[in-house]
Structure 1
Amino acid sequence: MPEGDTVWRLAERLDEALAGAPLTRCDLRVPRLATVDLTGRSVLEVVPRGKHLLTRIEGSLTLHSHLRMDGAWKIYAPAERWRGGPAHQIRAILGTAGHTAVGYRLPVLDLLRTADEPRVVGHLGPDLLGPDWDPAEALRRLLADPGRPLGEALLDQRNLAGIGNVYKSEVCFLLGASPWLPVGRLPDPERAPALARKLLEANKRRPVRTTTPSGYRPRPFEGSGGARPDRRLWVYGRAGRPCPRCGTPVRTADQGPATEERITYWCPACQPAP
């Protein structure tokens, strides 16, 4: 599932492609929206809210979409061939004279009044990349259930909107805390939302996500040379490989409620068990 920085970047690209121009084509291929035609209305803006996309359209309407695991929006020039997938996977087409945005495999696609947006995103916690970021409220929500494991609390969009599985694992590592540590036992807990926001802000305009310091050099056991793709993250995706900080093999396990488990990466030496 895309992280908040990826969704933020996608919203910016969609906004640049569609905003300020009337729709010359509108095709919403889900049964409840099959008769909707927004042709002639202008796209006002495309904004992210956590991992949600809100395409605001003239007439006080919002097209709400969420990518979840497999969804994607692709943007094409007028004569460009569409390569996002087979035609039967297309769920939405929004076209202007200059660009066409095609939504593939979108599991969530709703049309609602803009005033009703809280109905679909009102449950979310403070948006880590939003203009209304509120660190005090984010901390309050994180600590509302002090016995909850830190990794689960960070991943819950009702606490912080925008953290995905990558940032969950990386934030826990940088805090030196086990993902299974009860969040109420985290020393200086205000560091968690602050660090999460810092990482997402640093990556929202990067084509390749990086959580290790700029100019990071590996320990001798990792070899020599400049930065490589496998050194851009501390623990995520490094199962069984040495921790960049101490050399201990990185471990993995599923974490979360039944049917909602997500894989978690951690260093058992740098992040001792609670």
Structure 2
Amino acid sequence: MPEGDTVWQAARRLHTALAGCVLTRSDLRVPRFATADLTGRTVLDVTPRGKHLLTRIEGGLTLHSHLRMDGAWKVYAAGERWRGGADHQIRAVLGTAENTAVGYRLPVLELLRTSEEAKVVGHLGPDLLGPDWDPATALRNLLADPGRPVGEALLDQRNLAGVGNIFKSETCFLARVTPWLPVGEVPSPQRLVTAAKKLLEANRERPGGQRRLYVYGRAGRPCPRCRTAVRTADQDNRPTYWCPHCQSGPAG
């Protein structure tokens, strides 16, 4: 599942390609909205909210999408060949005179009133990369269930929005705790919030394949801090990585 930095990058690409332009093509390939026609309307902005994308369109409409595991938005210049996937994987097409945005394998795609956006993103905690970021609220949310493992608490988008499985492991590494330690037992728990913010901000300008990672995906390789071999185990059916020497707490 894409992390907050990846969604932020997708929103920026879409905003650059579409914002301020009139739609000359509109094709929503989901049964509920197949007859919706957005042509002639201007795209106002594309905003990320945690792992959600909100494309706001003239007339008080918002196209809400979520990438989950396999979804992607690709932007093509007018006349350029689409190559993001097979035709049957396309769920949305938004075209202007200069660019076309194509949504592939989108598991969530819905058209709603902009005034009703809270119905789809109102449950989210403060967005690590958004204007609503509030570290005090994020910390309070994380500590609301002190017995919950840190890794699970970080992944809960109701606590803070934007951390995925990669940055779960990375945040715990920077905070020097294992993902299985109860969040109420974390020394100086504000370190979790600070580390998560630092990681997403540092990576949002880098393409996804060029992230600088400390432990994620590095099982058996030396910890960059102490040279102990990084370990891996599942947490809630997700691969999790940590250093058994640098990070205090129970192991998976």
TM-score higher than 0.5: yes
After TM superposition, give the deviation of residue 244 of structure 1 in Å: 2.0
TM-score normalised by L of structure 1? 0.89
Query: In the aligned structure 1, how far is the partner of 2:6 from the partner of 2:244?
Result: 29
C-alpha deviation, 1:10, in angstroms: 0.9
The one-letter amino acid of 2:201's match is E
Q: Tell me the CA shift for residue 208 of structure 1.
A: 5.2
> Could you tell me whether the CA contact under 8 Å between 2:6 and 2:208 is conserved in 1?
no
Aligned match of 2:249: 273
Which residue is equivalent to 1:262? Answer: 238
**1:199 matches 2:199:** yes
Q: Counterpart of 1:117?
A: 117
Could you say which residue in structure 1 is the equivalent of 2:44?
44
Distance 2:219 2:228 in 1: 11
Distance 2:202 2:117 in 1: 28
- The superposition leaves residues 197-230 of structure 1 with CA deviations (integer Å, 9 ceiling, x where unpaired) of 111112211235777xxxxxxxxxxxxxxxxxxx
How far residue 88 of structure 1 moved from its aligned partner, in angstroms, is: 0.4
**1:69–1:208 Cα change, 3 Å:** closer
Structure 2: how far apart are the matches of 1:209 and 1:80?
24
1:127/1:133 contact within 8 Å kept: yes
CA contact (8 A) 1:210 1:233 kept: no
- Residues 75-96 of structure 1: CA deviation (Å, up to 9, x unaligned): 0001111000010000000000
Provide the secondary structure at the position in 2 that maps to 1:242: coil
- Residue 272 of structure 1 deviates from its aligned partner by 3.1
Q: Which residue of 2 aligns with 1:57?
A: 57
Displacement of 1:35 in angstroms is: 0.6
Give, as a single letter, the amino acid of the residue that structure 2 aligns with 1:254: D
In structure 2, what is the equivalent of residue 228 of structure 1? Answer: none
Name the CA distance, whole Å, in 1 between partners of 2:120 and 2:133: 19
Instruction: Confirm or deny: 8 A CA contact 1:7 1:51 kept in the other structure.
Output: yes
Q: C-alpha separation between the residues in 1 aligned to 2:127 and 2:139?
A: 12
Flag the 1:210–1:144 CA change in 2: closer, same or farther, 3 A.
Answer: farther
Mapped pair 1:250 → 2:226: no
Contact 2:150/2:180 (<8 A) preserved: yes
Shift >3 Å, 4+ stretches:
208-211
For the residue of structure 1 that corresponds to 2:225, the secondary structure is coil
Helix, strand or coil at the partner of 2:166: helix
Which stretch shifts more, 18-27 or 247-256?
Answer: 247-256
Secondary structure class of the residue paired with 1:147: coil
Amino acid at match of 2:242: W
Match of 1:218 in 2: none
Alignment of 1:152-191 (within 5 A): 152-191=152-191
Match of 1:30 in 2: 30
Residue in 2 aligned with 1:5? 5
Given that 1:203 and 1:209 are in contact with CA atoms closer than 8 Å, whether structure 2 keeps it comes out as: no
Change in Cα spacing, 1:172 to 1:209, as seen in structure 2 (3 Å) is farther
1:209–1:127: structure 2 CA closer, same or farther, 3 Å change rule? farther
CA RMSD after TM alignment: 1.2
CA apart distance, 1:70 = 0.2
Letter in 1 for 2:243: C
Residue 265 of structure 1 aligns to a residue whose secondary structure is strand
Within the alignment, does 1:19 sit opposite 2:19 as a pair?
yes
- d(CA) in 2 for partners of 1:122 and 1:160? 12
What is the Cα deviation at residue 265 of structure 1?
0.5
User: Cα distance, 1:122 vs. partner?
Assistant: 0.5
Identity rate of aligned residues, in percent?
Answer: 75
- Counterpart-to-counterpart distance in 1, 2:192 and 2:56: 32
Q: Give the aligned partner of residue 94 of structure 2.
A: 94
Mark the runs of 5 or more structure 1 residues left unpaired by the alignment: 212-231
> 1:254 deviation in Å?
1.2
- Are 2:220 and 1:240 aligned? yes
C-alpha separation in 2, matches of 1:119 and 1:263: 31
Aligned AA (1:237): G
User: How far off is 1:273 after superposition?
Assistant: 3.0
Which one-letter code corresponds to 2:104 in the other structure? Y
- Which amino acid letter does the alignment assign opposite residue 34 of structure 2? A
Change in Cα spacing, 1:210 to 1:145, as seen in structure 2 (3 Å) is farther
